[in-house]
Amino acid sequence: MEGNLSQTTLTAGHTAGTDERLDLRGITKRFPGVVANADVSLAIRPGEIHALLGENGAGKSTLVKIIYGILQPDEGEVRWNGTPMIIPNPHAARALGIGMVFQHFSLFEAMTVLENVAIGLDSPEKPSKLAERIRGVSAAYGLPLDPLRDVHTLSVGERQRIEIVRCLLLEPKLLIMDEPTSVLTPQEVGRLFETLRKLAAEGCSILYISHKLAEIKALCDRATILRGGRVVGGCDPKVETASSMASLMLGAQIKPLARRATTALGPSRLVVGGLDLPADTPHGIGLRGISLDVRAGEILGIAGVAGNGQNELFLALSGERTVETPGTIMIDNTRVGHLGAERRRALGLCAVPEERNGHAAVPEFSLVDNAVLSGHRREKLLAGGLIRAGRALDFATRIIKSFDVRTPGPGAAASSLSGGNLQKFIVGREILQKPGVLVVSQPTWGVDAGAASAIHAALLSLTSEGSAIVVISQDLDELLAISDRIAVINVGVLSAARPTASVSLEELGLLMGGMHEADVAKAASPEREMADAP
């Protein structure tokens, strides 16, 4: 594979300036203690959709920031249309015709679409003329967008369109898309791909960053695979199989999750009936009539596009927000709707929030202190208001050992751990407390594949001990892999849960996109409906 790629670069060298639009040669970027990019070479032709494939931490973001002028390489050369270039800042990159759509959008919530576009342009333009151009571009590329809407009223998919339109107005020669589909419904992904193909057909090069193999196979002409900051291979994703690209990306064959045979489920451990919770902020989502039922030994997955009430649902289940009617939430037949997180924890409900730093863990605190914060009651770490230091240290050490948390020791600050390791620690902290009910939000967000499969395995083994688990996630693959049933949350309303085995990706996508269950049922085949019926 390495041979393949160096050959590609060599060809580019011979035909310098004629057919490569962007040509990176031997790019190296070091940060204190880590080499983010080591001798990376990459060439992109006009009109090509080129995939940059790699795990979290493989060096994709660093490389892209170098191309977009946010970072400067320590070694190596960037060639643009054959000419060696130094791109000192994003302004310079845009002037060359490089546009970028960020993974975490660079938008301004309280401003209009028009203002959001204008602030990203390098030369001032009359608002009325700009609005006209926005309408023109959005019509031409099938990206409907009203320039006068406020951004905070828009869905995630619409927000991404702003970013794309902002780039398209510059008539880019190279468009960089950083993990563009992580927050989109399958239907929105389809629409985005059409836009990208159209752009490529017009001669725009696209650098498409992702770790989703299926998307890359569907969209890209060539792929460059990064691992640990190095190029480990280049391939034609249309020819390659997903698993061969995955093994290149991961470096080793990841063993697929052994789906356990569905064992007999126990009694209901978490029951929610008709839960209503008003939004607590103007831009928040209110929960309406949420009902769910999770039985011992079962994992219920909750899918949905980000910002559809997942956070609110998590807070309502964990007890960080309470309701006045105790009976709407029951843990092992105890009414807990009015009880706060601490009391629910005592009754056996542990929770892992999405945000690691600042919600699940205090970044400045040591791992021991962080272990005490959530585990003090169930692990009996307190005596008469004092911390039993020995027991606390022992608990933290057990978490580190059983979940393979890579850290200098239990005294290390939570913020010193990498995302994946901290996540393992936090999930481990709750699992070791042997909760009757575990609520987990985004258990593997931003975590590398190794840590993710360890977390998944831990969740599955917890169910075999009779716990009930709710997993809230935007990663459909994850939910399909580990949950027994899946429900979809959309604008604060939760659909009925369906057995994972009988639900299709298309149905989930329609539900996530806000289609009603009746419509989805109509769209699904009648046989499927029959199969679903108990």
Query: Minimal distance in Å, beta carbon 441 to another protein?
Result: 20
Q: Which is nearer to another protein, 19 or 115 (CB)?
A: 115
Contact 374, 429 (CB under 8 A): yes
What part of residues 275-304 is at the interface with another protein (CB under 8 A)?
280-283
Look at residue 371 and give its three-state secondary structure.
Answer: helix
User: Which residue from 39, 81, 108, 450 is in contact with another protein, where contact means CB under 8 A?
Assistant: 108
DSSP result, 442-505: STTTT--HHHHHHHHHHHHHHHTTT-EEEEE-S-HHHHHHH-SEEEEEETTEEPPPEEGGG--H
Residue 244 interacts with another protein (CB under 8 A)? no
Partners of 79 in the β-ladder: 23, 84
Q: What are phi and psi of 499, to 5 degrees?
A: -60, 135
Look at residue 308 and give its three-state secondary structure.
Answer: coil
User: Which residue from 106, 195, 291, 418 is in contact with another protein, where contact means CB under 8 A?
Assistant: 106
Query: Minimal distance in Å, beta carbon 107 to another protein?
Result: 6
- Distance, in Å, from the CA atom of 279 to the CA atom of 175, rounded to the nearest integer, reads 37
Structure token digits, residue 196: 């990208």
Residue 460 interacts with another protein (CB under 8 A)? no
Query: Minimal distance in Å, beta carbon 342 to another protein?
Result: 23
Q: Residue 137: which of 110, 153, 154, 117 has the closest Cα?
A: 117
**From residue 177 to residue 216, what is the string marking binding to another protein with x (rule CB under 8 A)?**
----------------------------------------
Residue 254 interacts with another protein (CB under 8 A)? no
Q: Which is nearer to another protein, 14 or 104 (CB)?
A: 104
Q: Residue 163: which of 93, 97, 106, 96 has the closest Cα?
A: 106
Residue 113 interacts with another protein (CB under 8 A)? no
What part of residues 117-146 is at the interface with another protein (CB under 8 A)?
118-120, 124
Q: Which is nearer to another protein, 111 or 491 (CB)?
A: 111
Binding window for another protein (CB under 8 A); candidates: 107-115, 187-195, 357-365, 480-488:
107-115
Binding window for another protein (CB under 8 A); candidates: 86-94, 133-141, 233-241, 456-464:
86-94
* Residues 244-253 as b or e (16 or more Cβ within 10 Å = b): ebbebbbeee
User: Which residue from 65, 159, 429, 485 is in contact with another protein, where contact means CB under 8 A?
Assistant: 65
Between strands 34-44 and 493-494, the pairing is unpaired
Structure token digits, residue 242: 């997903």
Q: Residue 448: which of 57, 63, 44, 48 has the closest Cα?
A: 57
User: Which residue from 6, 11, 91, 267 is in contact with another protein, where contact means CB under 8 A?
Assistant: 91
H helices of 210-333, in order, are 213-219, 242-250, 310-318
Q: Which is nearer to another protein, 209 or 462 (CB)?
A: 209
Q: Which is nearer to another protein, 6 or 89 (CB)?
A: 89
User: Which residue from 58, 64, 67, 107 is in contact with another protein, where contact means CB under 8 A?
Assistant: 107
- Which are the contacts of 109, defined by CB distance < 8 A and separation ≥ 6? 150, 151, 152, 283
Binding window for another protein (CB under 8 A); candidates: 43-51, 68-76, 191-199, 213-221:
68-76
User: Which residue from 111, 491, 521, 524 is in contact with another protein, where contact means CB under 8 A?
Assistant: 111
Q: Residue 9: which of 207, 233, 251 has the closest Cα?
A: 233
Query: Minimal distance in Å, beta carbon 104 to another protein?
Result: 8
Residues that bind another protein (CB under 8 A): 65, 69-71, 89-91, 94, 102, 104-111, 115, 118-120, 124, 280-283
